Amino acid sequence: MTLQAILLPVFVEVFLTFGLLFWLGKLRADDLKSGAVQPSQHKFGENVGSDRTRQVHRCFQNQFETPTLFYVVVILAIMAKKADIPFVVLEWLYVLLRLAHAWAHCGRNDLSIRSPLFAVGLLVLLVMWLLLAIQLLIAL
């Protein structure tokens, strides 16, 4: 696989994170303008603001949880030259599930939709790690 093909899903996940950050910034600015939140309330990083702001804030925070394991497994697969077609398909599946999870989280926030999306994404990530671990351990 080409480096571009391997990294494209990573870039999509990164841009999802930035998109949520910019959206969160706008929501926070709106909360400050409306007087719903005082600047001092952000002093210690509390999750303050309107329900919508807190919802997007939590979704943004989610992008620094399991996606960190995604970034690491991709980097390791590149370094080990183990990022083959099945690996890239799993990358895309994981990122598409992250996008769907963010959509569900920032939409109706229905846990009956959001939780299965998270669980399947986590399972895909686990499979990525298992495949890489097996390939590297067999090579020893």
CATH number given to 3-138:
1.20.120.550
Residue 48 vs residues 87, 104, 129: alpha-carbon distances, Å: 39, 21, 36
For 42, the token pair is 């952000």
What confidence score (pLDDT) does residue 32 get?
86
Question: How high is the mean pLDDT of the chain?
Answer: 93
* Model pLDDT for residues 64-92, shown as the tens digit of each residue: 999 999 999 999 999 999 999 999 999 99
* Model pLDDT for residues 15-41, shown as the tens digit of each residue: 999 999 999 999 989 988 988 887 767
126-130 CB contacts, 8 Å cutoff, 24+ apart: 127/90, 128/70, 128/73, 128/77, 128/87, 128/90, 128/91, 128/94, 129/69, 129/73
φ/ψ (deg, to 5) at 5: -65, -35
Q: Are 16 and 63 in contact (CB under 8 A)?
A: yes
Does this model's pTM top 0.75?
yes
In the chain, where are the structural domains located? Answer: 3-138
